[in-house]
Chain A
């Protein structure tokens, strides 16, 4: 096929729902992002593009082993190298920056040990930064790294989650008493009763998920710029949550909020990797304060692999109980997950496992659920939230169990799901794990998925091809995904992470509109959808809207990007501010025109007569008068053409979304290689602001999920060193192996906001591993084998088939 897949056949979904603004012409429409043109011309402003006067570069000597006691650091040769400015160790940094402990009060019992920007006397994972070398260029700093003489004593390393809690296993932090970071048990009751039923059918399996990582193409980077002249710290950061870092820099360095500014401009991919507070971040700030000049840190790829957060290392024993008649009665899981030697700051490394507990079984009606979670420390790179955060695991486990049960009962996988999902008219509902579900559309999405992928044709073709020894599989995964979090996610636990966001809209003298939002842009299109919402909310053309984000000096205070909250929370704030600004414009017009505002409307950049539509006052003229000719206005009236509104989602702990994905694969049973033929995703993220952007979030997220399902894993040697920490050996998905991905939309708006938008950024990652694993198992069904360990490699497939 030599032509592009059709641009979304429906580029305007706005008309499917009641309009949320007057003359709604941008919300719901697939408007391209003109704001990205500069990126196609190589004129972005990524952190490494920024040069500041006297800026220095830091490179870190990182521990080459999993666990060591540092015995000697000889730095004189490194310091003597021309161009080297400073060589700094942990205790020197610790004099400026407090240590931290990453716990949250609402994860009962979670514990971790104090962590410092640079290792103090021990390095506890391969990649932990021990010494900082600051030089005039990065190359110089690396030259100096080679001149450091560092001696250490190897310490035993904890590298196996299954023995981490054994009494014989050394303790990483003896003062903690064991290697357990967090554990949780949940039991609704009823699981054993379900198992004991005469008509009970049980299917159990153990699922293993390989540790992997985000691999943002732009590595982590920042410039810390301490200005001793005004005692102010400015940090340019490739990051998702500037206000969070502003707060942390203050608290760790004893600064006042007004002394710190964090700027996030272009971010070359984040996906959660860039929402955590890394030791490197604090070290770089400390160096700037110490050296009184800007210091830039850009992680190179090799250090990224050992210092970016990892995620998703789980081993889960699971089972599903259903009746012969096909009613799912219960799920049970026992999740063992391995993190690093510290819980990661400030969101903790307990959240991912906590979400696996919360979300397993999510789409289904069952009432009985039992779960145990143990989160254990290891001497490996610390882990934390990465796109999807527990959802990919929970969904893969749930959907594999459901497929396993369907096969045992001789049921079609889609039919079986239709029988057991929470019905579309049963909301609000509470899931077995206690999650509160406002409004989902599992039934509609299953129907639409079946239609979109032409399921019956795929099944017929599968049967025909099997006779010729060609093994294709169709895998279905129903998913739920939390979005628009309330303060229940972090705030209640004591974290100073905002669950509310704000938008300031200002009408400019020329009639242009400036939108300042506390939610930033990392490529997902936040700025574009804010422009669409603002244009409709106020009544101007989108071409006149300018967005400002990522500056703690210039925007309202807010949480930033994570947990798929940008559209739903940031967008609602824009909508509310826009509505009020529209009213204020009308009030100003009333004062100027001396006509009742009830007779006036704002329409496409002008104030018009509400009845006839005649243009009465261009907004540019209104702006001119309001800003420059206050002498012509009634003395009792002051125009307020700049409006700020905030929004927090407070109706539910989370606003869940749902979707269904279908994966079509072909397995070469002689080589174990899997070909991804095609992928479909039906998604319901509530009101869609821009269908093209949602499609692209889905596609990118799906491919990221496929990465974990088939390709990506951090592979460790027996001594705890990473064997594949480079782009050749760590396999990220590239274009040739990825399928075309068709996206369909269902819109069930949330009533927790006027906009009705839920989040869309992570659902793709949540469902893809489950869909692909189910597809592979479906393909191999004639052989009576199943794969349950991700990434699913040719090796694993050949072993399962008994070919090796």
Chain B
């Protein structure tokens, strides 16, 4: 444990991937450092810490945000979701499968943030075409893939969704 210091702290109550978590955290600490250092969740990554690369993208109260541009203190009382969830939604699972099938990840460093952005699109823009997918993920830097395979993977899941894969009936059937 680091030396106790005189920097202001705040007690933060959050729900992370469905689990309640309480921590005392320095007020200056951003959400990504909080997840990584205080909660031991290393899935969110830092690539720039100035809000441009998207590697830190997570969901707070159902909306994707840059974890490096949100203070843990701001997230007090919020619901946080990352790809580390032990109960991925059907759409998230489908995206993870599609990413593997299309080799939409190489080193994997951008992948957690990219998946959160992609999940947001699949949920909110079911009719997106390739260009809209590209625009939507244009805030997530990937140096390895050149983006083509990522777009393929996301479009594949959109197509599955169009075909009814995530309808209530389909999910019930799949759960049997």
Considering the complex, give the chain A residue whose CB is closest to the CB of B100. Answer: A32
In the complex, the answer to whether B108 meets A268 with C-beta atoms within 8 Å is yes
Whether A693 pairs with B43 at a CB distance below 8 angstroms is no
Which stretch, A33-41, A419-427, A442-450, A626-634, touches the partner chain B?
A: A33-41
| Interface residue? B110 (CB, 8 A) | yes
Q: What residues of chain B lie closer than 8 Å to A44, measured between beta carbons?
A: 42-43, 108-109
Per DSSP, chain B at the interface is loop
Of A40, A49, A215, A738, the residue contacting B105 (CB under 8 A) is A40
Bitwise interface map of B from 51 to 70 toward A, beta carbon under 8 Å scored 1, else 0: 01101000000000000000
Chain A residues whose CB sits within 8 angstroms of the CB of B137 once the complex forms: 735
Task: Give a binary string over B13-30; 1 marks a CB under 8 Å from any A CB, 0 the rest.
Answer: 000000000000010110
Measured CB to CB, the closest approach of chain A to B169, in angstroms, equals: 23
With known contacts A2-B129, A42-B112, A699-B148, A267–B107 Cβ distance under 8 A:
yes
**B101 on interface, CB distance cutoff 8 Å:** yes
Contacts of B109 in A (CB 8 A): 44, 46, 217-218, 266, 268-269
Q: Is the beta-carbon distance between B146 and A699 smaller than 8 angstroms? A: yes
Whether a CB of chain A sits under 8 angstroms from the CB of B106 is: yes
Query: A370 to nearest B CB, angstroms?
Result: 36
Q: B99 contacts A136, CB within 8 Å?
A: no
Q: Chain B's nearest CB lies how many Å from the CB of A734?
A: 5
Question: What is the distance, in angstroms, from B55's C-beta to the closest C-beta of chain A?
Answer: 6
**Interfacial chain B residues near A270, Cβ < 8 Å:** 107
Tally of contact residues, B, Cβ under 8 A: 71
Q: B50 to A735, Cβ gap below 8 A?
A: no
Q: How far, in whole Å, are A183 and B61 apart by their CA atoms in the complex? A: 60
Q: Are A2 and B105 in contact (CB under 8 A)?
A: no
- Cβ < 8 Å to A, chain B residues 63-121: 82-84, 88, 95-96, 99-103, 105-112, 115
Q: A40-B100, A268-B108, A700-B106 are in contact. Are A732 and B43 (CB under 8 A)?
A: no
CB distance from A56 to the nearest CB of B (A): 10
Q: Contact string, A707-740, partner B, CB cutoff 8 A, digits 1/0?
A: 0000000000000000000111000111111101
The answer to whether A46 touches B42 (Cβ under 8 A) is yes
Q: When chains A and B are docked, how far (Å) is the Cα of A693 from the Cα of B106?
A: 9
Could you say which of A3-11, A18-26, A647-655 contacts chain B?
A3-11
A217 x B147 contact (CB < 8 A): no
* A17 part of interface (Cβ distance < 8 Å): no
| A525 interfacial contact with B, CB 8 Å | yes
- A741, B144: Cβ atoms closer than 8 Å: no
Residues of A within 8 A of B135 (CB): 735-736
A733 to B110, CA, bound (A): 14
The contact string, 1 if C-beta is below 8 Å from chain A, for chain B 132-161, is 011101111111111111111101101100
Distance A69 CA – B93 CA, assembled complex (angstroms): 57
Do A738 and B147 touch across chains, with their CB atoms under 8 A apart?
A: yes
Q: What is the minimal beta-carbon distance from A739 to any residue of chain B, in angstroms? A: 8
CB–CB A42/B84 < 8 A: yes
User: Is the beta-carbon distance between A43 and B148 smaller than 8 angstroms?
Assistant: no
Which residues does chain B contribute within 8 Å of A4, judged by CB atoms? Answer: 102, 151-153, 155-156, 159
Is the beta-carbon distance between A703 and B147 smaller than 8 angstroms? yes
Cα A671 to Cα B139 with chains together (Å): 24
- Flag whether B39 is at the interface (Cβ < 8 A): no
Interface size on A, residues (CB 8 A): 68
Contacts of B108 in A (CB 8 A): 36, 39-40, 44, 266, 268, 523
**Residue numbers in B under 8 Å from A738 (CB-CB):** 134, 146-148
- CB atoms of A2 and B146 under 8 A apart: no
Task: State whether A728 touches B138 (Cβ < 8 A).
Answer: no
Chain B residue at minimum C-beta to C-beta distance from A82: B3
In the complex with contacts A3-B155, A5-B152, A42-B112, A271-B143 CB distance below 8 A: yes
Q: Contact flags (1/0) for A75-104 with B, using CB distance below 8 Å? A: 000000011000000000000000000000
A793 interfacial contact with B, CB 8 Å: no
Q: A42 CA to B42 CA in the complex, in Å?
A: 7
* Residues of chain A within 8 A of B53, CB atoms compared: 217, 301, 727
Residues of B within 8 A of A727 (CB): 47-48, 50, 52-53, 141
Decide if B41 is an interface residue (CB 8 Å cutoff): yes
Set B5, B47, B155: member contacting A217, Cβ < 8 A: B47
**Chain B residues near A522 (CB, 8 Å)?**
106-107
Whether B138 contacts A32 by the Cβ 8 Å rule is no
A734 touches B102 (CB 8 A): no
Contacts of B103 in A (CB 8 A): 32-33, 525, 692-693, 695-696
Task: Note all chain B residues with C-beta closer than 8 A to A214.
Answer: 143
A558 at the interface (CB under 8 A from B): no
Give the complex CA separation of A3 and B99 in angstroms.
Answer: 15
Instruction: Tell me the complex Cα distance, A41–B128, Å.
Output: 25
Contact with B along A253-280 (1 / 0, CB 8 A): 0000000000000111111000000000
Contacts A7-B102, A37-B96, A735-B138 given; does A217 touch B41 at CB 8 Å: no
Residues of A near B46 (CB, < 8 A) are 48
Query: Closest approach, in angstroms, between the C-beta of B121 and any C-beta of chain A?
Result: 12
Q: In the assembly, what is the distance between CA of A40 and CA of B108, in Å? A: 7
Q: Is the CB of B82 within 8 A of A42?
A: yes
**Across the interface, do B106 and A524 meet the contact criterion of CB distance under 8 Å?**
yes
Q: Which chain A residue has the least Cβ–Cβ distance from B112? A: A42
> Quick check: A140 and B45 within 8 Å, CB to CB?
no
**Cβ of A15 < 8 Å from any Cβ of B?**
no
Contact between chains at B130 and A735 (CB < 8 Å): no
Bound CA span A36–B82, Å: 17
Chain A residue nearest in CB terms to B155: A4
- Say which residue of B101, B134, B139, B141 sits within 8 Å of A32 (CB atoms): B101
Q: Closest chain B residue to A35 by CB distance?
A: B100
CA of A738 to CA of B143, assembled, Å: 12
Given contact pairs A40-B99, A217-B47, A696-B149, A728 touches B52 in the complex (Cβ within 8 A): yes
- B interface footprint on A195-224 (CB within 8 Å = 1, 0 otherwise): 000000000000000000011111100000
Q: Using known A-B contacts A34-B100, A83-B2, A735-B134, determine if residue A1 contacts B129 with beta carbons closer than 8 Å.
A: yes
B82 to chain A, nearest CB (A): 6
Complex partner residue of A735 from B100, B129, B150, B159, CB under 8 angstroms = B150
Known: A140-B3, A726-B50, A740-B151. 20 other contacts (CB 8 A): A32-B101, A32-B103, A40-B100, A44-B43, A46-B45, A136-B2, A217-B107, A218-B47, A218-B107, A523-B107, A525-B103, A692-B102, A699-B146, A700-B143, A727-B48, A732-B143, A733-B146, A735-B133, A735-B142, A736-B138
Closest 5 CB pairs of A and B: A42-B43, A39-B108, A523-B107, A268-B109, A523-B106
Chain B contacts to A: CB under 8 angstroms: 2-3, 5-6, 26, 28-29, 36, 41-50, 52-53, 55, 82-84, 88, 95-96, 99-103, 105-112, 115, 127-131, 133-135, 137-153, 155-156, 158-159, 162
- 18 A-B residue pairs with Cβ-Cβ distance under 8 Å, sorted by A, are A2-B129, A3-B155, A3-B156, A40-B108, A41-B96, A42-B82, A42-B83, A42-B112, A43-B43, A82-B3, A218-B45, A269-B107, A269-B144, A701-B146, A703-B146, A704-B143, A735-B138, A740-B130
